[in-house]
Each structure stands twice: as structure tokens, then as C-alpha cells.
Amino acid sequence: MPRGSPRFREWLEMSERLCPRDEADVVEAVRWAVSNGRTLDVAGSGSKAGLGRHIQTDATLELSGLSGVTLYEPEELVLSAKAGTQVAEIEALVAASKQMLAFEPMDFGPLLGLAPGGGTLGGLMACNLAGPRRPSAGAARDHALGIRAVSGRAEAFKAGGRVVKNVTGYDLPRGLAGSYGTLAAFTELTIKVLPRPETVETLLLLGLDPAAAAAAMSAAVGSYYDVSGAAHVPEAVAAAIAAVAGAGTAVTALRLEGVQPSIRHRRGKLEAMLRTHGTLSFLDADASRGFWQAVRDVTPFAVPLPPALPDPALMAGLDPATQSEAVLRPQGLGPRVKPGDEGAHLENHPALWRISVAPMAGPSVGAALREIGARCLYDWAGGLVWAEMPGAEPQTAAVRAAVAAAGGGHATLIRASAAARAAEEVFQPLDPITGALIARMKNGFDPGRVLSPGRIYAGV
């Protein structure tokens, strides 16, 4: 069907989910939306559709069809791929060359009741993801070299390049990272990859309370011993992580990566330095990898997968009696919730907050939230607090008050019902100056408020 033809336009008018095949299709879809005053929810595989404010748009611009690695040069530590390429595919590819995505992007699927492994490169950058290595390696934006994208003006553009020395002018890759598809739809991205450490071990301190754990983690990450991850898991939460469930107490974990002789030396030095803080133990390489993946994906607070939906492609052509037998979509293939129902299956699950504060302030935030029944997990040496509420009510006022009392920070509502995400300030409220700056960026990239309007803040 030729782009721009009457039949193509008719197809756009009738579709609730637009699935472009290439960048030109994306331009055409956005141009149609601009011309007709329509709004588009920018999505990849839909694995993070439950993040941000709940919005209603005229159609979903699904970019999962823009898939495939277009360049990978291990010796240059650079990779380019289309926006719909699955992160799991990229991680497997670079692992074969003993490389990695150093920012350790988390998989939101388990937290949102979805199958793991569904995230895409475009979604990763749109949400600026990072895991336990964030304090030492940075977030996704710090590894972005170049992008191709389509703005809300229906203009295709590129920024950056494929090598660091070619990245000049406005740093749009960093500026668009974390914009949740509200400024532009990524079509292709170029990122840095780094060598993967040869092995890993984890030093454990057992039985510490959050305040004592924060002091120990601060001493460790401030030392010369190159700690690449520091997390504290209270006893009740640790019981849900297989690698440390047998400890029967709270666990404070310090990750050491590199070659074995170096790890052995650094572990010895850390043990000598931290011996007075508590009982010591350690995890070997396999147990360490499992533990840090659980911390990265916050699996103790995961929710069960919802029932799989019948696959329309499989149901077509079957008689009603056979259809009633519910032919199910295999786990991991495509969305597990209907478009527009994102968050509906989370109505009765505990609300979940992601709170970023100064590392030594994490314990005070956790203490305030425990008083209202929340369970907490501490990453980034105490600077990232995951707080699961005792019920579906987000208790936003209590969370914001705890953050303010700790000296300020950012609290983001990660999991809640669609109604709560529509009514609450999901992201940290903005001061007037920052709010005006974000509004100017939106006006520059998407003056017609076509792309995911209101996903981060109302009216933007």
C-alpha cells in the first residue's frame, strides 16, 4: 500500500495500533496525526506501558517492527540497532564477544506483571534505565552516542554519531533520554558497549539495620577497592532472593568484579576494613550474578503474570466452540494485556515507589515509610530506595513528606492502578523554572502535543 495514498490514509484512520515498518512509515504516521489533530502513544513492545501517568490517546505508535542490529564493531566498542530491537537480543550478542551494557538496564516486566525479556532498545533509552552499576558506570544516557528519531512535527532527524569524537553540537541523545516518548520517537540508536568483567564475587555483611548498612556501604564505595555494586536487603525481603534466602537475616552486599587475583586482594582488604561492622560472608560468581539480577529487577516485589490472552491470529478461522477453549499466546511472545488496559491487572497489587535521595538519607526515608507498613530494598549504596506500599493505595503525601524530610530527592510511582496513575503526580513535582524548561522543550519538539501527551506531566 503506497504511503500517502487514500487507502493508506484510510488504514491510518481505522487503526488503533500503528505498526510502522521503517522510519518513513513513522514520519507518515506522525504527519497523519498532526494533520488530523490525533494523539499517539509511543511504544515499543509495550513492556513499560504501565510506567508514567495513565493517558488515553487516539492510537498507539508501536515501534517493535523496527528491529535488528545494524552495526556491531566489538573492537570499537560500539553498537547500532533499530529502536524495536529487544534488549535481550543485544545483551546476548555482546556477551558472545565478552562485552556488556555497562549501565546494567533493569527489566521492568516482573514488576509490572509481564513476562521478562520484552524490553526494547528504544524503550530502554526513552526511560533512561540503569541498574546497580549506575553510581560507577552511569545510566543509559551516558552510553548514548547517536540517535535517529522522528519529532512531533513529523520531521526525521539524527544527532550524535557512531564514535565518541564525532559527537558534536547539541547533545540530543542525552537530552531525549528519559523523555518517555513525549518529545520524539526513536527509530535507531547507537550506544557504547564495554568489556565484561572476567568474574564476580560479593562480600556480605549480615544482620545490619539500614542505617548501619548505609555507613558500611559508604565506607566501601569510598575506598580504593572498586566496588561496583552496593545494596542492602532487609530480612523479610532477602527471604525472596534465592542466593541469600538461607542467611535468615538482613544482607548488605558489596560487589567486586574483575580478574580473580584482583578480586581476592580487594575482598581481603574490604574484609579487614569492615570486620567491625558485622558478620562477614560472601557469594561466589554464580550466586553473585543471580543476586544482582534480583536486585536489578527488584524481583522480591514482582507480581504474578496475569492470565495469557487468546492470540487473535490463532483464534481466527476457528469455530466458536474451539475458540472457547482459549488458545493461549505462549509466554513472552507479545503483550499480555490488551492495548488501553495497561495497569488494569495491577489494580489490587501493592503500589511501588522508586525513590532517589542522597545515599546516607536512604535509611531515614525507609524508616518513615516502614511506619506506614512499607517494605523497602536499598540499592546504590542507599541512594535508591524501592518502597512497596502495604496496599494498592500509593500514599503519595506520606512518600513526598518522607523525601522532603530527608533533604529532598525524586520519588516516582512505578506501579499503581490506572486510576491512581491518572490522579497522582507520578513523577517528582517540578519547580517553576524546571517546569518552564520542560514545556519549552515540548513546544520545540512536539508543539501539537501529538506524542504521548501527559505521560510525564499533565499538559506536556
**Distances in whole angstroms, Cα of residue 156 to Cα of each of 22, 59, 121, 151, 187:** 12, 20, 18, 7, 9
Q: What share of the chain is helix, strand, coil (3-state, %, to 5)?
A: 35, 20, 40
Report the run of H or E that residue 42 belongs to, with start and end: strand 40-43
Q: C-alpha cell of 354?
A: 522508586
Q: What's the CA gap between 365 and 370, in Å, rounded?
A: 9
pLDDT at 18: 95
User: Quick one: 285 exposed, middle or buried, by C-beta within 10 A (0-12, 13-18, 19+)?
Assistant: middle
pLDDT at 328: 31
pLDDT at 341: 52
Asked if residue 244 lies in contact with residue 184, where contact means CB atoms within 8 angstroms, the answer is: no
Q: What is the DSSP string of 263-324?
A: HHHHHHHHHHHHGGGSEEEEE-HHHHHHHHHHHHHTGGG--PPPPPPB-HHHHTT--HHHHT
**DSSP annotation of 425:** -
**Distances in whole angstroms, Cα of residue 254 to Cα of each of 165, 244, 271, 293:** 35, 13, 11, 14
Report the run of H or E that residue 421 belongs to, with start and end: helix 418-423
User: Which has the closest alpha carbon to 137: 105, 165, 95?
Assistant: 105
Q: What is the DSSP string of 188-255?
A: EEEEE-EEPPSEEEEEEEES--HHHHHHHHHHHHTSSS-EEEEEEE-HHHHTTSTTTGGG-S-EEEEE
- Amino acid, res. 281: S
Q: C-alpha cell of 252?
A: 548488605
Q: What's the CA gap between 104 and 195, in Å, rounded?
A: 13
Q: C-alpha cell of 80?
A: 547500532
Q: C-alpha cell of 34?
A: 498532526
460 residues of the chain, pLDDT tens digit each: 566 655 555 555 556 899 999 999 999 999 999 999 999 999 999 999 999 999 999 999 999 999 999 999 999 999 999 999 999 999 999 999 999 999 999 999 999 999 999 999 999 999 999 999 999 999 999 999 999 999 999 999 999 887 655 555 678 999 999 999 999 999 999 999 999 999 999 999 999 999 999 999 999 999 999 999 999 999 999 999 999 999 999 999 999 999 999 999 999 999 999 999 999 999 999 999 999 999 999 999 999 876 654 554 444 554 443 433 333 333 333 344 444 455 556 788 999 999 999 999 999 999 999 999 999 999 999 999 999 999 999 999 999 999 999 999 999 999 999 999 999 899 999 999 999 999 999 999 999 999 999 999 998 8
Reported pTM? 0.90
pLDDT at 51: 93
